[in-house]
C-alpha cells in the first residue's frame, strides 16, 4: 500500500504506552515527525516552502478507537502559518501514524457522527454531527470503510460503497463551502444535483467554527465527466481518422452531436444549481446581493494582478519552453497591451440594470461532475483550494462557473487531440467542430434554463463580454499553472488568450485581427475513373443511381465544378444536363437541376432524392424517355489527390489575397470537398473566419455562398468580395 | 532545348503550376517508367516527347523505354491496331502468339523496376507477362476500343487484365474490364509549332504560301482525307450557308500519300469543288504544324463534323486560338464543344449551316464563344493538365498505407 511507503522513518521509539497513549505524547510525537513526512504527501499545500516548526494545536480521543482527532499548526520560514488536520494513532511499533489508515478509527469516526458525539479538546470542542437525512442512510456497524486515493486538499473514506467521508487536511477557520453549500442545497432547496449531506465534523474554539470533515451520500457513478469525455473523444477522433483508423465521418458527427446534447443537459443543470443558490432568502448568509462598482473594481484588480504574475512567469520561462509552445507565447507577449485591454470588461455587469452576485461552485470543471447513466451530480464545493477561505466563500458572478466549464471542455478536447495519433490527418478541425458544438450547446442550455435570472446581465452582448472576460481570466490562471507544471501544455491557454476579442461591445476591426492559427490552403488534383456502367434511358439511370458507389453520385453533382470551372449557365449537375441534353427531356432536366446538393446532410440522402425525383417523373409518363440519338450516361467517379499549396493566411487580408490568385481547385477543395466528403459540416473558410478570427457575421456570409448556382470562378469573386466588405468595415 | 514547366507560366491557369511543383515534391523518390514502341512520330511518342522532360523538370524520377521487334512484329502490331478500331479479318493464332512473345521478350533487356510502369499502346502491352513483383502497372490504351473486333479483343483482354489499371481517353472508348478504368483526356501543347502564338505577319506569310486569300470569311476543317471525315457533308454545309453569306471553305489535312482511301476521298472533294474558286482542298504533309496553326488563326469559324473520330484534338487546337467550333457528336468532340458556350454541336448538314450563318453574321457571338473556348481549353486540355494527371496517377497507383 502506498500509505505504508509514505511512512517516514521515525525517531527512536517513544516511551508511549501502546494501550492508552496519553494524548499529549502521541500528538507531540506526531508533530515531531510531520515536518519530514508532509512534503511527500499529496494534500500538503506548502510544497516548496520550508517548515520552521510544527506545534499541536488541539486534539481529542475518538471513542471506539485508539486514535485522536488532531490539528497542527505549521509555521514556515517565510513567516506564514497553515493548519493541518492529521488524526493520529500509534502504529504497531508505537510510532505515530495517520489514524485514517486505521480501519477501526475510520469506523469509529462514522459511528461518532451517527451518534452526534461531542469531543472535548484542550482548547476547543470537536463536534461530530449528523444531518436530518443521516438516520436512514448511515450504514450498519461493520460496513467496510475504505480509504480512497485522495484529492489535493483532503482524504476520503468510502463506507460500504454508500457513504463518503471527506476529511479536510488543510483547514481554515470558518465554515467550509463544501459543508455549507451542499447543506443548504439539501435542506433548503429542491435541487437534487448534489449528493445529499449526511453529517460533518466541526471544531469550535473561541466562538469560531471550522469544518474538519463532511459526510455525503457516495454517488455510484460511471465516472467523472472528464474521464468519460476523454473516452468519448478517443472514439470521436478514431472515427475521424485518428489512431490509424479508417475515417467514418458520419459516426464522428453522431458522437459530437451526442456530446453536444449532453453539454446542453449539463448547462441546464448548472443553471438549476445557480437558481437554487440564488434562492437563499434575504437576510441569510447565502442571499444574493447586487454587484456594486466596488465588486467590479476588486475583481478586475485581482484579474490584473494574476495577469501580471502570469506574464512575468511567461517571460521568465520562455527560454525553457518547447519551440511549439514558445512561438505563440512570444506573439502573445508581444501584444500584452491588447491582452490587458481584453481583460477589462466587467463593468458591463453594472451597465444595464443591477445584476446579482451569488454563491457559486467556484471551481467548476468536468472533473467535478459525476455521471451515472444520464444523471449528473455536482461535487466538491470547496472552491479553488489555493485561495483563502474568505475568498472562496465570497459571492461571485455566476458566469464564472460557466466560464470554468467552457474552459474545461476546451481542455478536454485538446487533451484528447494530443492523445490521438494521427499524422497527416486534419484532426484539429474536428477538434474545433466538437468544441464549437459543445460550447454553444452548454451556453444555450444554461441560458434557456436561467431565462431572465437576476444574476445574469440582461442583454446578450454584455453577457457575452463578461463571460469572455471570465474565460480569459481562467486561461490566465491555466497559463500560470502550465508554465509551472506542464510546459508542453502552455499552447492550450495561449490559444485561448489570443482569441481576438475586445470587451465593451467594441470589436477589433476585421482588418486588425490576427488569426489564432493560420489558414493552410490545400488544392487538389482529380483522377477520373469510369465505374463501368451506362444508362440509355431514364429508368436505367434511376436504377444505376441506386447501385453505383456514392463517390459516383458525388462526382456527378460536385466534381462537375472542377471540369466546368469557369462555366455557369448549364445545369449544376451531370444528371440534369444528360436528361435535358441527351434525352431531350427538359422537364426531368429542370427537376434534377433543382436538387441542391448543398441541402443534404450526406450523399446517401442526396442519392435518395435524385432517385425519388426520377421515379416521380416516370410515374407520370406513359413511356420511359431514353436516348434516341444522344449519348448514354456514363457513370464516373473520381479520386482526389490533396496537395498542400504551402500558402497560408494569418489574417483576413492575407486570406483574401491568396483567394484571389490561388488555383480554383483549392476553392473547390475548401468549399465542397471539406463539407461533403471530408464531413466537416461547413466550408473551411467560414469555419476559420469564425474560429480563428472570431468574425461570426462574415462566417455566416461565407457559409451562405452558393457555388452550385455560380460556378467556381464567380464563387471566388464572391468570397473575395465578402472579405473586402469585412476588411473595409470599421476602416473609417 | 529541353522543355521546362515554367515556360508554361503565361499560358497555364494561374496557380496550377505551383500545384504541380507541390505535388511533385510529395512524390519525390518514386520512379515512373513509360514504355512504348517508338521515340518518333505522332501519338504516344509525341506525347512522351513532351511529358517526360516536363516530369523530369519537376524532379520526378521519370524514364522512357522502347520495345523493339523484327519487321514481322511491327506488321502484326499494325494489323492489330486496325483490328481494334473496327471489323477486321481474323489474325492467325500463331501470329498473335509470336507478337506477344516478341513484346514480352523485351523484358530481358529493359530496366522495368519502377514504382509505376505506364505502358502505352498495343506494341509493348504483353510486357506485363514479365512484370516484376514490385511496382504498379498501368496500360494506356489511347485508342477507341469500343469497336474492336471481337476475336482480336478476346486475345488481348487477358493480358490487359494483368494490369493494375487501364487508362482511356474517354469512357466510351473503354471495353468491359475488371481492373479500374481511369479516364485521362489527351491534351495540346500550347508552345508547340501547332499552337504557339503567331504574329499577323507569320499567319499572312503562310496563307500566301498556301495561296489562301483572305477576302472573305474563312471556314476551316482540319481532318484527314478519309471517309470518316464526311467531307462531302462539309461541302454541302458550306454551300447551304454560302447562299446567305459569302464565305470560303478550306479543307486541310493529310492521309493521302500512298493511301488509296485518301486519294479517292480527295478526288471526290475536288470533283465536288470543281469550278468553285472559294473551295480549297489543301493536302498537307504530316509535319505541317505551322501551316495548320496559321490556318486555324486565320479562320472565322472552324468546323469539325466527322462521322467517326478519336478524341478530336483538332477541336481543342482551334478553340485555343479563340475560334468558335461547330462539331459533330463523334468521339471526344462533345467533351470539348459545350453547346452554346464554347461552340455548337450539330446533328445535320442543315444544323451546321444554320450555325455558320449565325456565327458569320454575329461577330459578338463569335467573340463570346471563342473567348470561352480558349479559357475552356486553358483549364482542361493543355499539356500542363496532363502532367497533373500523370502525377495524380503516380500518387494513386503508388499510394502508401
pLDDT tens digits for range B343-398? 999 989 999 999 999 999 999 999 999 999 999 999 899 999 999 999 999 999 99
The pLDDT value recorded for residue B82 is: 86
Nearest to B225 by CA among B270, B263, B280: B263
Q: Is the minimum CB–CB distance between A423 and chain B shorter than 8 Å?
A: no
When the pLDDT of each residue in chain B is averaged and rounded to a whole number, the result is 92
The pLDDT value recorded for residue A10 is: 36
pLDDT band at A564 (very low <50, low <70, confident <90, very high): low
pLDDT band at A321 (very low <50, low <70, confident <90, very high): confident
Q: Are A195 and A182 in contact (CB under 8 A)?
A: yes
Q: Is the minimum CB–CB distance between B181 and chain A shorter than 8 Å?
A: yes
CB contact under 8 A, A525 and B13: no
Q: At B215, phi and psi to the nearest 5?
A: -80, -20
pLDDT band at B124 (very low <50, low <70, confident <90, very high): very high
SS (H, E, C) A135-187: HHHCCCCCCCEEEECCCCCEEEEEECCCEEEEEECEECCECCHHHHHHHHHHH
Q: Is the minimum CB–CB distance between A717 and chain B shorter than 8 Å?
A: no
Is A333 a residue whose pLDDT tops 80?
A: yes
**Mean pLDDT to the nearest integer, A466-494:** 89
* Distance (Å) from the alpha carbon of A596 to chain B's nearest alpha carbon: 23
Rg, C-alpha atoms of chain B: 22
What digits encode the pLDDT tens for the residues A394-441?
999 999 999 999 999 999 998 998 888 666 567 877 787 788 888 888
- Strand locations in A169-300 (E): 170-171, 197-205, 208-217, 223-224, 289-290
CB contact under 8 A, B182 and A567: no
The pLDDT value recorded for residue A22 is: 59
CB contact under 8 A, A663 and B395: no
The span from the CA of B319 to the CA of A616, in Å, is 40
The span from the CA of A697 to the CA of A567, in Å, is 29
Residues of B with Cβ-Cβ distance to A629 under 8 angstroms? 329, 347
Is B138 a residue whose pLDDT tops 90?
A: yes
Is B184 a residue whose pLDDT tops 50?
A: yes
**Closest residue on chain B to A663 (Cα):** B15
Q: Is the minimum CB–CB distance between B184 and chain A shorter than 8 Å?
A: yes
**Closest residue on chain B to A521 (Cα):** B19
The span from the CA of A444 to the CA of B360, in Å, is 66
Q: Are B278 and B212 in contact (CB under 8 A)?
A: no
Is A597 a residue whose pLDDT tops 90?
A: no
Q: Is the minimum CB–CB distance between B39 and chain A shorter than 8 Å?
A: no
Among A98-102, A515-519, A524-528, which stretch is predicted with the lowest mean pLDDT? A515-519
CB contact under 8 A, B339 and A581: yes
The span from the CA of B42 to the CA of A513, in Å, is 57
Is A535 a residue whose pLDDT tops 90?
A: yes
Q: Is the minimum CB–CB distance between A714 and chain B shorter than 8 Å?
A: no
CB contact under 8 A, A567 and B376: yes
* Distance (Å) from the alpha carbon of B164 to chain A's nearest alpha carbon: 13
Q: Is the minimum CB–CB distance between B372 and chain A shorter than 8 Å?
A: yes
Q: At A88, phi and psi to the nearest 5?
A: -120, 150
The span from the CA of A19 to the CA of A29, in Å, is 16
Is A678 a residue whose pLDDT tops 90?
A: no
**Closest residue on chain B to A245 (Cα):** B401
Residue written as cell 492575407?
A654
* Distance (Å) from the alpha carbon of A419 to chain B's nearest alpha carbon: 21
What digits encode the pLDDT tens for the residues B34-45?
999 999 888 899
What digits encode the pLDDT tens for the residues B260-287?
889 999 999 999 999 999 999 999 988 8
Q: Is the minimum CB–CB distance between B344 and chain A shorter than 8 Å?
A: no
Is A352 a residue whose pLDDT tops 50?
A: yes
The pLDDT value recorded for residue A700 is: 85
* Distance (Å) from the alpha carbon of A439 to chain B's nearest alpha carbon: 36
Number of CB pairs < 8 Å for A and B?
94
**Mean pLDDT to the nearest integer, A689-716:** 82
**Closest residue on chain B to A629 (Cα):** B347
pLDDT band at A730 (very low <50, low <70, confident <90, very high): low
**Mean pLDDT to the nearest integer, A379-397:** 87
**Which helix (H) or strand (E) segment is B381 a member of?**
none
3 state SS of A536:
coil
* Distance (Å) from the alpha carbon of A590 to chain B's nearest alpha carbon: 17
**Closest residue on chain A to B177 (Cα):** A532
Q: Which residue has the higher pLDDT, B175 or A562?
A: B175
Q: At B36, phi and psi to the nearest 5?
A: -140, -160
Among A276-280, B16-20, B166-170, which stretch is predicted with the lowest mean pLDDT? B16-20
What digits encode the pLDDT tens for the residues A26-57?
888 888 888 888 888 888 888 778 888 888 99
The span from the CA of A52 to the CA of A80, in Å, is 10
3 state SS of A23:
helix
**Closest residue on chain B to A646 (Cα):** B22
Residues 6+ apart with CB under 8 A from A171: A71, A83, A84, A85, A203, A210, A211, A212
When the pLDDT of each residue in chain A is averaged and rounded to a whole number, the result is 84
| Strand B301-304 to B325-327 pairing | parallel
Residues of B with Cβ-Cβ distance to A564 under 8 angstroms? 338
Neighbours of A290 (CB within 10 A): 13
Is B332 a residue whose pLDDT tops 60?
A: yes
Q: Is the minimum CB–CB distance between A731 and chain B shorter than 8 Å?
A: no
**Cβ-nearest to A636 among B171, B176, B380:** B171
Percent of chain A with pLDDT over 90: 36
**Mean pLDDT to the nearest integer, A468-494:** 89
Helix residue ranges per DSSP H, A8-95: 23-37
CB contact under 8 A, A523 and B19: yes
pLDDT band at A149 (very low <50, low <70, confident <90, very high): low
* Distance (Å) from the alpha carbon of B23 to chain A's nearest alpha carbon: 6
3 state SS of A335:
coil
Is A641 a residue whose pLDDT tops 90?
A: no
Is A241 a residue whose pLDDT tops 90?
A: no
Nearest to B89 by CA among B102, B99, B80, B77: B80
Q: Are B295 and B204 in contact (CB under 8 A)?
A: no
Residues of B with Cβ-Cβ distance to A664 under 8 angstroms? 13, 15, 379
Q: Are A213 and A166 in contact (CB under 8 A)?
A: yes
The pLDDT value recorded for residue B18 is: 86
Is A7 a residue whose pLDDT tops 70?
A: no
pLDDT band at A8 (very low <50, low <70, confident <90, very high): very low
| DSSP label at residue A556 | I
The pLDDT value recorded for residue A661 is: 84
DSSP code per residue over B278-342: TEEEEE--TT-HHHHHHHHHH-SEEEE--SS-SS-HHHHHHHHTT--EEE-SSTTHHHH--BTTT
**Cβ-nearest to B392 among A525, A634, A645:** A525
The pLDDT value recorded for residue A561 is: 67
Four-point Cα dihedral B363, B366, B367, B371, nearest 10: 180
The span from the CA of B90 to the CA of A611, in Å, is 45
The pLDDT value recorded for residue A17 is: 33
Amino acid at each position: 500500500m502506498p500509505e505504508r511507503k509514505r511512512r517516514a522513518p521515525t525517531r527512536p521509539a517513544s516511551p508511549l504506552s501502546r494501550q492508552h497513549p496519553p494524548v499529549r505524547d502521541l500528538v507531540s510525537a506526531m508533530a515531531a515527525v510531520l515536518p519530514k513526512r508532509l512534503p511527500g504527501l499529496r494534500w500538503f499545500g506548502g510544497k516548496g516552502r520550508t517548515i520552521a516548526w510544527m506545534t499541536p494545536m488541539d486534539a481529542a480521543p475518538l471513542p471506539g478507537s485508539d486514535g485522536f482527532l488532531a490539528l497542527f499548526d505549521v509555521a514556515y520560514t517565510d513567516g506564514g502559518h497553515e493548519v493541518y488536520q492529521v488524526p493520529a494513532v500509534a502504529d504497531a511499533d508505537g510510532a505515530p501514524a495517520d489514524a485514517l489508515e486505521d480501519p477501526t478509527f475510520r469506523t469509529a469516526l462514522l459511528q461518532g457522527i451517527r451518534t452526534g458525539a461531542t469531543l472535548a479538546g484542550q482548547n476547543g470542542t470537536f463536534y461530530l454531527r449528523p444531518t436530518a437525512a443521516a438516520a436512514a442512510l448511515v450504514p450498519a456497524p461493520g460496513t467496510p470503510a475504505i480509504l480512497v486515493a485522495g484529492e489535493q486538499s483532503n482524504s476520503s473514506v468510502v463506507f460500504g460503497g454508500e457513504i463518503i467521508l471527506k476529511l479536510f487536511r488543510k483547514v481554515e477557520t470558518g465554515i467550509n463551502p463544501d459543508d455549507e453549500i451542499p447543506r443548504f442545497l439539501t435542506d433548503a432547496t429542491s435541487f437534487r444535483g448534489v449528493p445529499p449531506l449526511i453529517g460533518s465534523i466541526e471544531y469550535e474554539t473561541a466562538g469560531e467554527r471550522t469544518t474538519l470533515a463532511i459526510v455525503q451520500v457516495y454517488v455510484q457513478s460511471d465516472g467523472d465527466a472528464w474521464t468519460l469525455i476523454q473516452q468519448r473523444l478517443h472514439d470521436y477522433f478514431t472515427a475521424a481518422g485518428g489512431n490509424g483508423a479508417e475515417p467514418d465521418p458520419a459516426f464522428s458527427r453522431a458522437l459530437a452531436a451526442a456530446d453536444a446534447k449532453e453539454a446542453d443537459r449539463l448547462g441546464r443543470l448548472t443553471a438549476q444549481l445557480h437558481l437554487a443558490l440564488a434562492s437563499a432568502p434575504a437576510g441569510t448568509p447565502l442571499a444574493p446581493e447586487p454587484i456594486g462598482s466596488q465588486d467590479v473594481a476588486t475583481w478586475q484588480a485581482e484579474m490584473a494582478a494574476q495577469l501580471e504574475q502570469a506574464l512575468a512567469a511567461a517571460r521568465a520561462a520562455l527560454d525553457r519552453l518547447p519551440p511549439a509552445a514558445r512561438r505563440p507565447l512570444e506573439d502573445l507577449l508581444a501584444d500584452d497591451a491588447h491582452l490587458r485591454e481584453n481583460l477589462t470588461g466587467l463593468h458591463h455587469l453594472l451597465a444595464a440594470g443591477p445584476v446579482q452576485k451569488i454563491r457559486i461552485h467556484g471551481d467548476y470543471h468536468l472533473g467535478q461532475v459525476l455521471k451515472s447513466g444520464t444523471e449528473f451530480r455536482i461535487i466538491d464545493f470547496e472552491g479553488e483550494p489555493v485561495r483563502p477561505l474568505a475568498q472562496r466563500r465570497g459571492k461571485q458572478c455566476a458566469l464564472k462557473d460557466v466560464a470554468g466549464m467552457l474552459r474545461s471542455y476546451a481542455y478536454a478536447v485538446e487533451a484528447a487531440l494530443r492523445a490521438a495519433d494521427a499524422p497527416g490527418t486534419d484532426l484539429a478541425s474536428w477538434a474545433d467542430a466538437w468544441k464549437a458544438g459543445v460550447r454553444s450547446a452548454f451556453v444555450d442550455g444554461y441560458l434557456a434554463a436561467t431565462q431572465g435570472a437576476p444574476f445574469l446581465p440582461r442583454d446578450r452582448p454584455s453577457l457575452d463580454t463578461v463571460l469572455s472576460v471570465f474565460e480569459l481570466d481562467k486561461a490566465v490562471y491555466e497559463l500560470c499553472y502550465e508554465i509551472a507544471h506542464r510546459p508542453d501544455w502552455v499552447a492550450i491557454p495561449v490559444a485561448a488568450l489570443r482569441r481576438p476579442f475586445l470587451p465593451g461591445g467594441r470589436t477589433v476591426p476585421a482588418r486588425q485581427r490576427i488569426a489564432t492559427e493560420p489558414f493552410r490552403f490545400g488544392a487538389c488534383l482529380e483522377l477520373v475513373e469510369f465505374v463501368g456502367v451506362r444508362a440509355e434511358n431514364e429508368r436505367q439511370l434511376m436504377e444505376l443511381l441506386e447501385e453505383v458507389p456514392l463517390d459516383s453520385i458525388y462526382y456527378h453533382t460536385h466534381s462537375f465544378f472542377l471540369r466546368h470551372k469557369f462555366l455557369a449557365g448549364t445545369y449544376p449537375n451531370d444528371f440534369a444536363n444528360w436528361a435535358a441534353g441527351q434525352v431531350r427531356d427538359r422537364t426531368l432536366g429542370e427537376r434534377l437541376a433543382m436538387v441542391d446538393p448543398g441541402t443534404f446532410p450526406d450523399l446517401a440522402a442526396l442519392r435518395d432524392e435524385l432517385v425519388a425525383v426520377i421515379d416521380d417523373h416516370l410515374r407520370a409518363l406513359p413511356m420511359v424517355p431514353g436516348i434516341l440519338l444522344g449519348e448514354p450516361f456514363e457513370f464516373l467517379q473520381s479520386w482526389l489527390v490533396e496537395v498542400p499549396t504551402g500558402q497560408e493566411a494569418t489574417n483576413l487580408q492575407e486570406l483574401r489575397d491568396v483567394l484571389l490568385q490561388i488555383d480554383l481547385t483549392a476553392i473547390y477543395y475548401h468549399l465542397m470537398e471539406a463539407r461533403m466528403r471530408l464531413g466537416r459540416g461547413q466550408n473551411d473558410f467560414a469555419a476559420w473566419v469564425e474560429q480563428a478570427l472570431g468574425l461570426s457575421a462574415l462566417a455566416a456570409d461565407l457559409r451562405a455562398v452558393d457555388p452550385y448556382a455560380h460556378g467556381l470562378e464567380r464563387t471566388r469573386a464572391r468570397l473575395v468580395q465578402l472579405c473586402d466588405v469585412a476588411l473595409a468595415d470599421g476602416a473609417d | 532545348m529541353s522543355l521546362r514547366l515554367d515556360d508554361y507560366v503565361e499560358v497555364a491557369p494561374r496557380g496550377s503550376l505551383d500545384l504541380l511543383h507541390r505535388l511533385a515534391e510529395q512524390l519525390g523518390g518514386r520512379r515512373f517508367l513509360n514504355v512504348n514502341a517508338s521515340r518518333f512520330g505522332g501519338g504516344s511518342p509525341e506525347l512522351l516527347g513532351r511529358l517526360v522532360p516536363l516530369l523530369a523538370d519537376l524532379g520526378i524520377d521519370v524514364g522512357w523505354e522502347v520495345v523493339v521487334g523484327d519487321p514481322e512484329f511491327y506488321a502484326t502490331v499494325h494489323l492489330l491496331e486496325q483490328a481494334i478500331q473496327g471489323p477486321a479479318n481474323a489474325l492467325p493464332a500463331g501470329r498473335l502468339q509470336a507478337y506477344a512473345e516478341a513484346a514480352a521478350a523485351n523484358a530481358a533487356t529493359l530496366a522495368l523496376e519502377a514504382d509505376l510502369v505506364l505502358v502505352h499502346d498495343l506494341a509493348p502491352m504483353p510486357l506485363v507477362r514479365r512484370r516484376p513483383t514490385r511496382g504498379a502497372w498501368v496500360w494506356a490504351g489511347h485508342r477507341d476500343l469500343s469497336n474492336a473486333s471481337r476475336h482480336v479483343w478476346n486475345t488481348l483482354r487477358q493480358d490487359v487484365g494483368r494490369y493494375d489499371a487501364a487508362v482511356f481517353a474517354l469512357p466510351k472508348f473503354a471495353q468491359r474490364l475488371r481492373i479500374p478504368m481511369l479516364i485521362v483526356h489527351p491534351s495540346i501543347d500550347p508552345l508547340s509549332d501547332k499552337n504557339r502564338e503567331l504574329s499577323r505577319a507569320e499567319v499572312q506569310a503562310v496563307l500566301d504560301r498556301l495561296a489562301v486569300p483572305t477576302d472573305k470569311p474563312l471556314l476551316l476543317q482540319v481532318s484527314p482525307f478519309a471517309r470518316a471525315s464526311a467531307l462531302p457533308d462539309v461541302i454541302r454545309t458550306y454551300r447551304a450557308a454560302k447562299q446567305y453569306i459569302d464565305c470560303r471553305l478550306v479543307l486541310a489535312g493529310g492521309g493521302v500519300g500512298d493511301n488509296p482511301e485518301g486519294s479517292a476521298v480527295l478526288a471526290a472533294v475536288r470533283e465536288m469543288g470543281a469550278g468553285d474558286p472559294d473551295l480549297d482542298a489543301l493536302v498537307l504533309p504530316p509535319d505541317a504544324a505551322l501551316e495548320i496553326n496559321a490556318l486555324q488563326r486565320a479562320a472565322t469559324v472552324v468546323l469539325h463534323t466527322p462521322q467517326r473520330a478519336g478524341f478530336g484534338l483538332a477541336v481543342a487546337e482551334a478553340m485555343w486560338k479563340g475560334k468558335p467550333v461547330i462539331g459533330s457528336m463523334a468521339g471526344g468532340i462533345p467533351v470539348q464543344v459545350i453547346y452554346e458556350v464554347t461552340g455548337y454541336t450539330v446533328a445535320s448538314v442543315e444544323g451546321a449551316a444554320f450555325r455558320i450563318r449565325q456565327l458569320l453574321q454575329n461577330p459578338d457571338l463569335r467573340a463570346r464563344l471563342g473567348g470561352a473556348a480558349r479559357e475552356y481549353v486553358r483549364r482542361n486540355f493543355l499539356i500542363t493538365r496532363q502532367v497533373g494527371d500523370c502525377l495524380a496517377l503516380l500518387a494513386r497507383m503508388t499510394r502508401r498505407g
